Amino acid sequence: MLNIVGKRYWFFALSTIVIIPGIIAIILWGLPLAIDFTGGSILEVRFDSGAPPAPADVVELYDDLGVLDPIAQSAGTTDIVVRSKLIDEATKALILEEMETRFEGPLTLLRFDSVGPSIGIEVAQQAAGAIGLAALFILLYITYAFRGVPNARRFGIAAIIAMLHDVAVVIGVEAIFGHYLGWEVDALFLTALLTVIGFSVHDSIVVFDRIRENQRRHRLLKFEQLVNHSIVQTLDRSINTQLTVMLTLLALLLFGGVTTRHFVTILLIGVFSGTYSSIFNAAPILVVWENREWRSWFRRRERAAA
């Protein structure tokens, strides 16, 4: 039988290796916040002629009109996306008019967002609150659902640690992609993050449930073996569920269009990480806790390589 629990420190190490670059990216570059959080305006325009102007020319146009901090990007072959300080509807109309005359050609407004700065701070605070609250409620629920099992709270905390692992992975990836691909943390990203949290716990519970059941049936088995048993027994299910969710997400990624691409990619990474962490982190953490292994962490180093 596969011995997953025995190699737990290898898996912990793997998780650390995946998370650390993300954390470095966050420290170096920070998280690229969208105007949802920072305030400002974003204007997306399609040039029907198929020949959009160079981004630099658009920036010049903004400068001429006195709009501060413009950043222009090409998107696809026909579209231009411009971010800037907050502008109102009237200024937007002026910009569109000016674009039409200066760049000679009819254009279509695809999107215009403007968010005041006060909103942004509030949204960020509430998002943090929402994640904290979700974690708290899930912890409470798991403690309740596993109330018949000894040390029920451990299950909840192990699930939360696995969940934090997934949050770290997702945020780290976002920071890296944000730096290289210009992805931004927006409301959709938060939605993806919260969904990942939900799924991560979902997966952990399936494994925990098996441990709960086996504990009742095999009272004499060592806890370590029991956990390994439970993981192996649920492995087929974990892989198959993982596959179906990945397949649907892949379909969304391939056919879903640009608007949701960022969202779906984050979900894909997060859901994968969620399954990984529930098998290789959440359940093994229970074993670490049961054996109180931290007492030997610093005394005998060879343990870590066991």
Partner 1 sequence: MFKSHYRRFIFILLVMAGAIWIVLPNNPGIHLSFLDKDFEVVQGLDLQGGLRVLLEADLPETTEIDPEQLNTAASIIEKRVNALGLTEPVVQVAGSRRILAELPGIGNPEEAVATIKETGLLEFIEISYEEVYSLAPGQRIKTDFGLDESDTTAEDTATPTPAADEEQPTPSEAEAVDPPEEKIFHTVLTGAHLKSAGVDQDQIGNFSVVLEFTEEGGDIFTDYTATHVGDILGIVLDKQLISFPQITQAIPTGIASITGNFTREESNNLAIQLNYGALPIPLKVVESKTVGPTLGQDSLQKSTTAGLAGLCVVMAFMALYYRLPGLLADLALLCYAAITFALFKSIPVTLTLPGIAGFVLSIGVAVDANVLIFERLKEELRSGRNLRTAIDLGFSRAWPSIRDSNISTLITCLILYWFGNTFGASIVKGFSITLALGVLVSLFTAITVTRTLLHIVLDNIRFAEHPRWFGI
Helix-helix angle 283-290:8-29, to 10 degrees: 110
Q: Give residues 246-305 in contact with partner 1 (rule: CB under 8 A).
A: 247-252, 254-257, 259-260, 263-264, 267
- Under 8 Å between Cβ of 117 and 59: no
Window of 172-180, 196-204, 282-290, 292-300 that interacts with partner 1 by CB under 8 A: 196-204
Binding mask 35-54 for partner 1 (x = CB under 8 A): ---------x-x--------
Burial of 132 (0-12, 13-18, 19+ CB in 10 A): exposed
In order of 62, 122, 221, the CA distances from 150 in angstroms are: 65, 41, 15
Burial of 257 (0-12, 13-18, 19+ CB in 10 A): exposed
Is residue 167 a contact point for partner 1 (CB under 8 A)? Answer: no
Choice from 8, 83, 165, 210 touching partner 1 (CB under 8 A): 210
Is residue 2 a contact point for partner 1 (CB under 8 A)? Answer: no
Is residue 30 a contact point for partner 1 (CB under 8 A)? Answer: no
Is residue 244 a contact point for partner 1 (CB under 8 A)? Answer: yes
- Under 8 Å between Cβ of 263 and 249: no
In order of 90, 106, 143, 198, the CA distances from 159 in angstroms are: 51, 55, 11, 11
CB of 194 to partner 1, least distance (A): 5
List residues bridging with 44 in a β-sheet: 81, 111
Is residue 74 a contact point for partner 1 (CB under 8 A)? Answer: no
Is residue 134 a contact point for partner 1 (CB under 8 A)? Answer: yes
CB of 25 to partner 1, least distance (A): 25
* Pick 100 or 293: Cβ nearer partner 1: 100
Amino acid at 32: P
CB of 263 to partner 1, least distance (A): 7
* Pick 101 or 244: Cβ nearer partner 1: 244
Window of 55-63, 176-184, 194-202, 283-291 that interacts with partner 1 by CB under 8 A: 194-202
Q: Which residue has the tokens 């502008």?
A: 87
Is residue 240 a contact point for partner 1 (CB under 8 A)? Answer: yes
Q: Which residues contact 253 (CB under 8 A, 6 or more apart)?
A: 261, 264, 265, 268
* Pick 259 or 296: Cβ nearer partner 1: 259
